[in-house]
Structure 1
Amino acid sequence: MARYHIETYGCTANRGESRQIERALRDGGHAPAAGPEDADVAILNSCTVVEKTERNMLRRAQELEAETAELIVTGCMALAQGEEFREAGVDAQVLHWDEVPAAAMNGECPTPTPDAEPILDGVIGILPIARGCMSDCSYCITKQATGKIDSPPIEENVEKARALVHAGAKEIRITGQDTGVYGWEQGERVLHELLDRVCDIEGEFRVRLGMANPKGVHGIREELATVFAENERLYNFIHAPVQSGSNDVLGDMRRQHQVREFVEVVETFDDALDEWTLSTDFIVGFPTETDADHEQSMALLREVRPEKINVTRFSKRPGTDAADMKGLGGTVKKERSKAMSELKMDVVGEAYESMVGTERRVLVVEEGTGDSVKCRDDAYRQVIVQNASEHGVEPGNFLDVEITGHQTVYAFGRPV
């Protein structure tokens, strides 16, 4: 499990974003460090109100880079003037705030605690369906804390989901280290059956499936795609982290899938659904990754065109096999990360641009910055509705919106 240090500067909105980052990290089993020098990753949530503030942010970023193993910069200055950190020689990942948790986890699985129970956070119900995984990735430290998959019976999880709906949940997030292998230890994979049962619960709500590794999904891809196609309550969204477009690198990572299996999952969902969102992760700069391997990852990204992409620079976790490998230089990792991140923005921006001018049914899931709310459409794309109080819109509402514009990683919607 990673130890993190987070510093927040600026307005209330920044503080709220930091709380959400920290919540995601804690949900993943990661813990706060005593200070940046003890952290595996430091997170600087920056402000850019005036020039003096900018100078302070650059200075603090340089200090944190020297004090910690890995630095992530997010917040207003990162989004508006991210190039200034690079020009100042700061070796950091500059990310949108909602990309930070995945990057901080270094491509590792989330790690629910042994006593993880469902929780209701606003109108979002979080349902951990199992603990552990069937993988043995060479870079992942969380396997040391969790062991193999342990899946409670379907009926037990359905009852927990029903309790969340009765408590007011409008969005149920099904989570686990690897949801795709739910039931594996009992000799069968039954994720599709669980999803079908949850969708049968009486009430008005939506269901989002959490991370599922490609290998587990591949074995039940037809059954899963059918369940998605038949259940309107299921967001048409899959998070399947491929991590690399090179089979050689996947082998060194000890990932259980090959690129072909990942592509076959994508093709199956393409055939079954008119519109859906593929979310995936790439680790760049793994110790054995060559220039050719990196190009294969770039080619795969261009081919499958995921609409949500987490790009993580490899960093060593103590006690993992990958930590003993001779690593690549920081400059190489930085250049590859930059190239893939730029391609990512093109791919994601294209997806959100295609939404402009369409009408969508969305669920309001939480409050946004200022007088705005964050919504999700059927494919789990993020839609921001501004001036929410004027429209009488609040979390838990379902409404129809017209998409009026986009900001690369989210769209703007106007109630109709």
Structure 2
Amino acid sequence: MVVEGAVERADVTDVVEDVEDMFDHGRRTTTATAEDAVAAVSTTSGVGRSARTLEPTVNVRARRREGEVDDRGGAEDDETDETGGTRPGRGKIFVHTFGCSHNHSDSEFMAGQLQSYGYELVKDASDADGWLVNTCTVKNPSQSAMNTVLERGKAANKALLVAGCVPQGDKGAKELKDVSLLGVTQIDRVVEAMERTLAGDTVRMLEKKTLPRLDLPKVRRNEFVEILPLSTGCLGACTYCKTKHARGDLGSYEISALVSRVEQAISEGVSEVWLSSEDTGAYGIDLGTDVAALFRAITAVLPTDGSVMLRLGMTNPPYILAHLDAVAEAMRHPAVYAWMHIPVQSGSNAVLEAMKREYTVEEFRTVCDTLLEAVPGMVIATDVICGFPGETDEQWRETMQLIEEYKFPEVHISQFYPRPGTPAARMKRVPTQIVKGRSRELTVLFESYQPHQHLVGKTERVWVSDIARDGTSLVAHTKNYTQILLPGGEDQRAHLMGRSAMVEIYESSRWSCKARVLEVIDADPTVARVRLSVIPSEEESKMIREKLTKGKRVRIKKAQEMPETGCSVCGSDSSCPSSKEPVTARYLSVETVLIAGTCIGAISLACALYARNRRN
């Protein structure tokens, strides 16, 4: 399964095998890159080493609620109280994550809060007091692997806190009985949830609320990579998708908050920023903005020496169609990888309609053709579902022809899985043997071409950001995100990790290339001269939003009010009354209303007593 110690092919059983490895070897395993890495046929980055511990940016205090176990006594340096329980903030926590990069970002935020509060993060599951399991509901194998983890945890009498898409989208699942649950928008309450779980309570924190702040403390799985969530949810209604049940409708972060997080991550030493969301192309529709403005704002704060690279996230064709010029310009930027994940799922329009994917094969081709022509060396990764209900042999041939024509360097191949509660689960299924046969057929086609052979003998610039699965080789990526393996060792790590270099490629395989280092690049002056310019006018943006959201429920958020420290009228740094403000807004507050009400009540009571005394 491991190819040259760095990358792996994942089939239906790989996720469960990773879980077995986690317990057998006492290490925390993680899925590889790509928004849907579980059960993918090819991945581009092998990960699995421990993350650097970062200084917390925010002090975290657990909320204390009625009915919660109080803090317990004991010696200051003792991790247990007199009853044998774990003291708040003094236990050992094991974190395991399934699924996409958004899930990994959530886990990093939760790990950061736990560590900031005082908990020790451990890589050995058996050594932990509590387990935080962040789950994925995209496919059956990932949820089956979650069940395996929970069974192990219950057998070992561990305190279990289950977070992520499974409890949010399927809280009634029998596997979740008697374990604590944390919803996708409740990750900023992980300390409270873990503290109460360790105390013996079973908590359910699944209420949907506003997005968690982006300035929470964080412990990255890769100290050189910042995974930045742009939004949660999407505007689609795919008939096979369970993630929609968990993440809900689109909810985007403000551009200012995202830029601030990027600047903070850069100050902490990252060399890559990955934009992550369920659909990058839909970003900002609920805020009255779009990805063009986002790309422009983020690239503007990247270091001018080219030391930090930006990787754009997964996007579905319907929404990126409206922003192809902006996306192409962004990926031509010297500090942005010329790589994008654009799922097609099927090469048949009839199947796409049954899936409710909201685009045609012709529109997908337009996206690919435009980007491949406009961006030098552009690489597109895509997804295919084999054996969607009702898919005929002829419709499957259309998918095979599409992949054969474009020869995508990355194709994530999945067999159809009926997810509970989705419309597709009620559709008549294609026989299992046919589904498996189509999956094998596409895999053979995918493995028949060598997308990196043309790089042999060439000199390329790469960015080094990881350690390979063999624990020795270094993992780097070219401008179009082709994986390059470099010689490892302690000296090489100290010399190259988090930096850029010129390399000579001498060997290629289906999954990656091998290269020798020629020189380390300290600065690239070309980045300082580049600024993105493609951004639609407000009128154009409004027309695009109306077109994309026609017939859909999208709550456009109101513009944020000016903070109390500033005035929206005169522009001063301090607050001042506005001539346009109603007098009530200027002088009335909750406190003044309460005081006035109390006074009126007291006066009324006094008058009533006086009147009664006079009658007597």
Q: Same fold (TM over 0.5)?
A: yes
Change (3 A) 1:365 1:278: same
Match of residue 419 from structure 2: 317
Verify the 8 A CA contact 1:132 1:143 in the aligned structure 2.
yes
Change (3 A) 1:404 1:23: farther
Deviation at 1:227? 2.4
Match of residue 212 from structure 2: 115
Partner Cα distance (1:220, 1:297) in 2: 25
After TM superposition, the structure 1 = structure 2 runs for residues 249-398 of structure 1, keeping only pairs within 5 Å, are 249-347=351-449, 350-368=450-468, 369-389=470-490, 391=492, 393-398=495-500
Change (3 A) 1:261 1:116: farther
Q: Secondary structure at the match of 2:476?
A: strand
Deviation at 1:178? 0.5
Q: 2:232 aligns with which of 125, 131, 136?
A: 131
Match of residue 316 from structure 2: 213
Partner Cα distance (2:365, 2:431) in 1: 30
Deviation at 1:23? 3.5
Match of residue 25 from structure 1: 99
1:159 maps to amino acid? S
Establish whether residue 193 from structure 1 lines up as the match of residue 293 from structure 2: yes
Q: 1:407 aligns with which of 491, 500, 509?
A: 509
TM-score by length of 1: 0.75
* Structure with the bigger percentage of strand: 1
Deviation at 1:397? 1.6
Verify the 8 A CA contact 1:362 1:377 in the aligned structure 2.
yes
In the comparison of the two structures, how many residue pairs are matched? 342
Partner Cα distance (1:319, 1:180) in 2: 26
Change (3 A) 1:375 1:38: closer
After TM superposition, the structure 1 = structure 2 runs for residues 73-222 of structure 1, keeping only pairs within 5 Å, are 113=185, 114-115=211-212, 117=214, 119=218, 120=220, 121-188=222-289, 190-203=290-303, 204-222=307-325
Partner Cα distance (2:24, 2:495) in 1: 21
Deviation at 1:302? 1.4
Higher-RCO chain (CA-CA 8 Å, sequence separation at least 6): 2
Match of residue 232 from structure 1: 334
**Greater Rg over alpha carbons, structure:** 2
Match of residue 101 from structure 1: none
Partner Cα distance (1:249, 1:308) in 2: 22
Match of residue 87 from structure 1: none
* Percent identity of equivalent pairs: 27
Partner Cα distance (1:14, 1:378) in 2: 35
Match of residue 562 from structure 2: none
Unpaired runs of 5+ residues, structure 2, are 1-14, 32-46, 49-95, 104-132, 152-182, 186-210, 519-616
Partner Cα distance (1:38, 1:402) in 2: 39
Change (3 A) 1:292 1:13: farther
Q: Secondary structure at the match of 1:244?
A: coil
Q: Secondary structure at the match of 2:269?
A: coil
Partner Cα distance (1:38, 1:304) in 2: 29
TM-score by length of 2: 0.52
2:212 maps to amino acid? D
1:25 maps to amino acid? G
Deviation at 1:192? 2.3
Verify the 8 A CA contact 1:245 1:300 in the aligned structure 2.
yes
Partner Cα distance (2:213, 2:482) in 1: 27
1:270 maps to amino acid? L
Cα root mean square deviation, aligned: 2.9
Match of residue 73 from structure 1: none
Unpaired runs of 5+ residues, structure 1, are 44-63, 68-110
Verify the 8 A CA contact 2:22 2:28 in the aligned structure 1.
no
Deviation at 1:15? 4.8
Partner Cα distance (2:409, 2:298) in 1: 26
1:403 maps to amino acid? I
Match of residue 59 from structure 1: none
Partner Cα distance (1:116, 1:13) in 2: 35
Partner Cα distance (1:235, 1:141) in 2: 30
- For 1:354-408, what per-residue CA distance to the aligned partner results, in whole angstroms no more than 9, with x for missing partners? 2111111111111112321111110011111123445454420211111111221
- For 1:12-42, what per-residue CA distance to the aligned partner results, in whole angstroms no more than 9, with x for missing partners? 9995655758545275558459xxx997334
Q: Secondary structure at the match of 1:227?
A: helix
Verify the 8 A CA contact 1:130 1:149 in the aligned structure 2.
yes
Deviation at 1:209? 0.7
Change (3 A) 1:394 1:388: farther
Deviation at 1:228? 1.9
Partner Cα distance (1:359, 1:11) in 2: 42
Change (3 A) 1:16 1:272: same
